[in-house]
A and B are shown apart, each in its own frame.
Chain A
Amino acid sequence: MANEAAIINAVARTSLWLQPHRIVLILIALGLVLSAAFFMRWDWLPQYYEMGLIGIWRSLWILAVTCVLGFLLAVPLGLAQATGSFWFAAPAKVFCTVIRGTPLLIQLWLLYYGLGSLFPQYPWIRESWMWPYLRQAWPYGVLALTLSFAGYEGEVMRGAFAGVPKGQLEAARAFGMSRWKAFRRIWLPQAIYRALPTLTGETVLQLKSTPLVATISVIDIFAVSSKVRQDTYLTYEPLLLLALIYMTITGILVFAFSRIEARIPNKIG
């Protein structure tokens, strides 16, 4: 019975969603896609297929690393602003303001071309163990994207920390928890729960920032598409495919986050 009802419900929902005009729209969209597939040039695909996969992998890798590192950095930034004395709060506030107030592209170029052009003046840098890394472009991209994520998410974490009701912390202290334990067991988890809903949006925004690393010669998926454009002199095809790739990744991210969020109890605080 329940099963039947569920099926009827699902059918009803589908038919509600699949109104006549939607069918027409979908047909038009299909027509556009098919005509794009037939009338545009896609013969370059086999040649760049492998390069494209490596590019996608690199973009995702940069996204994952910078989001994780950025979040780890955002926690102390938020905490410093929410509680810390002036000497902790002020630098954190300045950092967040500067990061949020300047374009990521300028931060990236300042780090890569600006700092990079200063290094050769110091022989000890060139002789140190860091040099093989400093020579490459990706560490600068990862650093800039991490700082950027930390700057935006730090502001979110400040609000999240401040939003945890005082009573919870007082209760924890009354239970005899040490400050550190209260922080670890009560304050931090609750603040992170509060910040989680913003993470989807911030991660998607971060994904949309990753193509900037192509301007400092990191070969991500955007750079691969630029390469195709330059090699084949095609304008639209590589860009359309690139847009489709980013939309797919965004879709997967949003879906994955919604699944994660559904598992987390939303009754908190």
Chain B
Amino acid sequence: MKTVLKTFAAALLLGVAAMGVAKADPVKIGVAAEPYPPFTSPDASGKWVGWEIEFIDAVCAEEKLDCVITPVAWDGIIPALTTKKIDLIVSSMSITAEREKTIDFSDKYYNTPTAIIGPKDQKFGATPDDLKGKVVGVQVSTVHAVYAKKHFGSTASEIKEYQTQDEANNDLAAGRLDAVQADSIALGEFLKSDQGKACCDLKGMVAPDDEVLGPGVGAGVRKEDTELKGKINAGIKAIRANGKYDEISKKYFDFDIYGGGGAQSN
């Protein structure tokens, strides 16, 4: 009986293993498995497109890395990195002291301000007083969730956390939220869509808080992966220097998203 069981166990493990053996050893680029235009978004044929995809492709080409885009759930993206399901997070993730306790970041590769949007028929701004009694939507485990809780937690009636940014946007359009806080570019893209145009407009940029919002967006790597981190940093520097970065950015934005400093993204 024991031998039968042992054989079973071995067969199971091998069966699972055989299914999972990958050929080469590519760098798995983790992106959040959700539409986050204009940075990362699936198109109708299942391909991932957007500024950030083109950016990391350029970095990988520069450093001759074999990169594959691997979508994972945003709320589990850091555990996915630490348990080696992915090797790099390229998903508009802000560099923060809190996250740096668990993972390392490359140099920043973009930095944009944080905005608040709301329904057209209401007039308010982006200060804690303006959001008094309002229901504010944010995406979970983003700097915005932390910021909203810290600055608006005492005045807003509720801070609702969504698994994906588009679900928060959708609930704003559906009238279930009074305001949404997120990266200004991602929100700008939403306001340009039919749904966004019909319902909402920009209320303002939030006051900077570098401790929470961090110095910009970087690529997340495991702490022990210093070699990969070095390569990504070198790649970013190279495409910044040779004009590739600006070339990609011009396709999406009419301003410099690399940014100087101050408040910014996810």
Contact = CB atoms under 8 A, between A and B. Distances in A.
Interface of A: 113, 116-117, 119-120, 126, 131, 135-137, 215, 217, 226-227, 229-231, 233, 235
B127 interface: no
A230 B162 contact: no
Contacts of A135: 135, 175-176
B141 A117 contact: no
A119 B176 CA distance: 10
Interface string B156-191: 000011110001001101111000000000000000
Interface in B47-85: 75-76, 78-79, 82-83
A238 B51 CA distance: 35
Q: Chain B contact residues: over half helix, strand or loop, or mixed?
A: mixed
B161 A113 contact: no
Nearest to B199: A120
A157 B234 CA distance: 67
A23 to B, nearest CB: 22
Contact of B175 (A113, A120, A137, A230): A120
- The 4 A-B pairs with the shortest beta carbon distances in the complex, nearest first, are A230-B141, A233-B102, A235-B79, A116-B174
13 contacts: A116-B174, A120-B174, A131-B175, A135-B135, A137-B176, A217-B161, A226-B75, A229-B79, A233-B78, A233-B79, A233-B99, A235-B82, A235-B83
Interface residues of B, number: 24
Given A117-B173, A217-B162, A235-B82, A230 B167 contact: no
A126 B176 CA distance: 10
A130 to B, nearest CB: 12
A117 B102 CA distance: 38
A218 to B, nearest CB: 10
B24 to A, nearest CB: 28
B171 A116 contact: yes
Nearest to B103: A233
A200 to B, nearest CB: 31
Given A116-B174, A120-B175, A230 B140 contact: yes
B75 A230 contact: yes
Contacts of B176: 116, 135-137
A102 B30 CA distance: 30
B101 interface: yes
B102 to A, nearest CB: 4
A249 B50 CA distance: 45
Given A230-B140, A233-B78, A233-B101, A217 B170 contact: no
Contacts of A226: 75, 140
A212 to B, nearest CB: 12
Nearest to A125: B175
Nearest to B83: A235
A119 to B, nearest CB: 6
Contacts of B140: 226-227, 230
Given A229-B76, A230-B75, A231-B141, 4 more contacts: A117-B170, A135-B135, A226-B140, A235-B79
Among B170, B171, B176, the one with the most A-chain Cβ atoms within 10 Å of its Cβ is: B176
A120 B173 contact: yes
Contacts of A120: 173-175, 199
A75 B99 CA distance: 52
A119 B83 contact: no
A32 B199 CA distance: 54
Interface in B24-49: none
Contacts of B78: 233
Nearest to B141: A230
Contacts of A230: 75, 140-141
A119 B175 contact: yes
A226 B170 CA distance: 22
